[in-house]
Amino acid sequence: MTRLSPRTLRRIVTVGTVPVVAAGAILAVTAAPALAQTECGPNKEQTAPVGGHALLRACIQKDGNQRRAYIQLQYARTYGGKDWDKFVVHVRLERNDADKEYGSCDWTSDMNNYKTLNQKCYTDWYISGTTGGWTGDGYYVYNYNLDGLGDKSASLTGSPKVS
């Protein structure tokens, strides 16, 4: 039986340990991050006075114990000019229909100045370990330019629930 010297043993341990530790470090660095979950309700269409369409939907995003709601707008029209006296969205983060966070965005100027838009209006992130019943919801207030009918509002269908 061959007896190994302490120096040889240290060399074997060092050569064998360093690659294993390095491989572990590489695995730790390249591990996939937790993915945020996003759920959205159906699109609601709002026509513009002349040749334009807005699609809006309420969504919820979950990342670990953080959640936020948002309203997404996709807007397109065929010409420029002022279509809107007002277009303001109001978004809510809810848990079992109890409001937890609010947000609002005034998109009137953007909708009058651009032919196409893709916008999102977010609530702040809300941190809670409580699971189940979280949804995004909201409504919007609009007023067509020069129609003389004043402000109108419409509700969005809420997002599906996340935990």
Other CB atoms within 10 Å distance of the CB of residue 96: 10
Q: Express each pLDDT in 63-85 by its tens digit.
A: 999 999 999 999 999 888 899 99
Q: 9 lies in which domain range?
A: 1-31
Examine the domain organization and report whether 98 and 146 are in the same domain: yes
> What's the length of the chain?
163
**75-122 pLDDT, tens digit each:** 999 888 899 999 999 999 999 999 999 999 999 999 999 999 999 999
Phi-psi region at 129: left, alpha or beta (left = phi > 0; alpha = psi -120 to 50): alpha
Residue where the block lists tokens 């006296």? 85
Is residue 94 domain-resident?
yes
CB atoms within 10 A of CB 101: 17
Task: Note whether 92 and 99 are within 8 A (CB).
Answer: yes
Q: How many domains does the chain contain in total? A: 2
Q: Considering the domain boundaries, does residue 163 fall inside one?
A: no
Same domain, residue pair 15 and 64: no
What pTM value is reported for the model?
0.77
Assign residue 48 the CATH number of its domain.
2.60.40
